[in-house]
Amino acid sequence: MSFSTLSIASWLSACVPEPLHVSRAERLRAVLGALIGIALTGVMSVWTMGDHADLPLLIAPMGATAVLLFAAPASPLAQPWPMMGGNLLAAAVGVTCARWIPVPILAAAVAVALAIGLMFACRCLHPPSGAVALTAVFGGPGIKAAGYGFVVMPVAINTAILLACAMLFHWATRHRYPHHASVPHASRTTRSGVTEDDIVAVLDDRDELLTIDADDLVTLVDEAEQRAYRRRAASAVGTTATPSPPFHAHADMTSRSPKPLKKSDFEVLSEFRHQLRRFLHFSEEAVQAEGITPLQYLLLLHIKGFPGREWATVGELAERMVSVHHGTVALVNRCVALGLVRREPAPEDKRQVRIHLTPHGETVLLRLAALHREELKTTSRHFQLPFDEN
């Protein structure tokens, strides 16, 4: 087989779509939602707009919007602001180009291009809005005569009604829409230490629009890590039973017979946890003021504090941070990008990579470590637990 034939075969195989990871029930829900949404939008548009035979009561781009709203409601492109903002901007741009550019083909091209630029600027990218811009140019004499009234009727009316139908349908079927972060962004960290900031940095490096929210990517990474852990643990013990979580109580605690606790014991434990949380809160604010994350500070600290030397391997750092190897690799990559650490091959074995602090990393760590040490001096007495052993 020739090289050209292999290239064509490779290109054709790349055109084969990937399987959709959507259940039959979810597909049926999307079909039913589009049926109800488009039908109600058409009926209510007729009732709202009245007798306007020269204007379409339901514009074609609403069909594409319905695909996003009901089949891909988690996509950032399907959220309320992109839908409303994108359609209204595109309609206004399309009417303007149709009025001021006499050549229809040129007007259509300029309208779509300007609509995309404005949607990027206003953070309301919505693919069906490109068709709205084309409709404003090629929609016929009725739309041309309506002028900027086309933006309101039928575009704004169709869009608002379809959006309301989608929100009611998703609420009735207990499906989250609008799609938003399930927890505050600042607390999103996977078990291996990957944060939403890491995800955003990778997306920025790719410089390519992916139609998935960064918060959803963090959730997917976290769930994949948990699944991989359960698989590895089950393989290690030769069973498919669900293993215990990675961080668990000491093995012999269940065999102990703990002594009854007194009120004073609970007070000591409560004060200890209170002071510990205060220290951790201080640490979080201190490292964020330096422009890094708590995990990045810990990485710098463990490199500098590794016994007997000024460097550490990724495996050693993963062990000290109680993290998985690939999570520590991602953390090191981020610190390298920030100029905090550098990689160096070991002189005796080039396959081993040593992680060193850079001068910038040394400076940042010195400031933060001094702050932490002073804070610990003022709170050290709270980390001694004077339990009465009698």
243, part of any domain: no
pLDDT at 349: 78
| Cβ atoms < 10 Å from Cβ of 179 | 19
246, part of any domain: no
Kindly report the CATH number assigned to the domain that includes residue 345: 1.10.10.10
First to last CA, the chain: 85
Q: Which residue has the tokens 């009727």?
A: 153
Q: How far apart are CA 366 and CA 294, in angstroms?
A: 15
pLDDT at 248: 45
Tell me, what DSSP letter sits at residue 18? P
322, part of any domain: yes
On whether both 83 and 158 belong to a single domain, the answer is: yes
User: Is the CB of residue 300 less than 8 Å from the CB of residue 364?
Assistant: yes
On whether both 94 and 205 belong to a single domain, the answer is: no
320, part of any domain: yes
pLDDT at 95: 96
3-state secondary structure of 180: coil
Q: How far apart are CA 11 and CA 14, in angstroms?
A: 5
On whether both 285 and 229 belong to a single domain, the answer is: no
56, part of any domain: yes
Which residues form the domain of 311? Answer: 263-383
On whether both 145 and 78 belong to a single domain, the answer is: yes
pLDDT at 41: 93
In the chain (390 residues long), the average pLDDT of successive 10-residue segments reads: 63 73 90 95 86 78 95 92 96 96 95 96 95 93 90 94 95 86 51 69 78 78 75 58 46 56 84 84 87 92 92 90 84 92 86 90 93 82 58
On whether both 190 and 159 belong to a single domain, the answer is: no
On whether both 163 and 95 belong to a single domain, the answer is: yes
On whether both 137 and 190 belong to a single domain, the answer is: no
9, part of any domain: no
7, part of any domain: no
CB < 8 Å & 24+ apart, contacts of 47-55: 48/157, 48/161, 49/153, 49/154, 49/157, 52/153, 53/142, 54/141, 54/142, 54/145, 54/146, 55/142, 55/143, 55/146, 55/150, 55/153, 55/154
To the nearest 10 degrees (0 to 180), the angle between helices 196-206 and 214-237 is: 110
On whether both 39 and 153 belong to a single domain, the answer is: yes
On whether both 136 and 190 belong to a single domain, the answer is: no
Bridge partners, residue 343, by sequence: 355
User: Is the CB of residue 210 less than 8 Å from the CB of residue 203?
Assistant: yes
Domain end point (choices 127, 148, 172): 172
On whether both 288 and 197 belong to a single domain, the answer is: no
247, part of any domain: no
On whether both 168 and 41 belong to a single domain, the answer is: yes
Bridge partners, residue 311, by sequence: 356
pLDDT at 238: 52
Domain end point (choices 172, 203, 227): 172
For the residues of 106-119, what is the DSSP string, one character each? HHHHHHHHHHHHHH
Domain end point (choices 128, 146, 172): 172
Number of domains in the chain: 3
On whether both 76 and 140 belong to a single domain, the answer is: yes
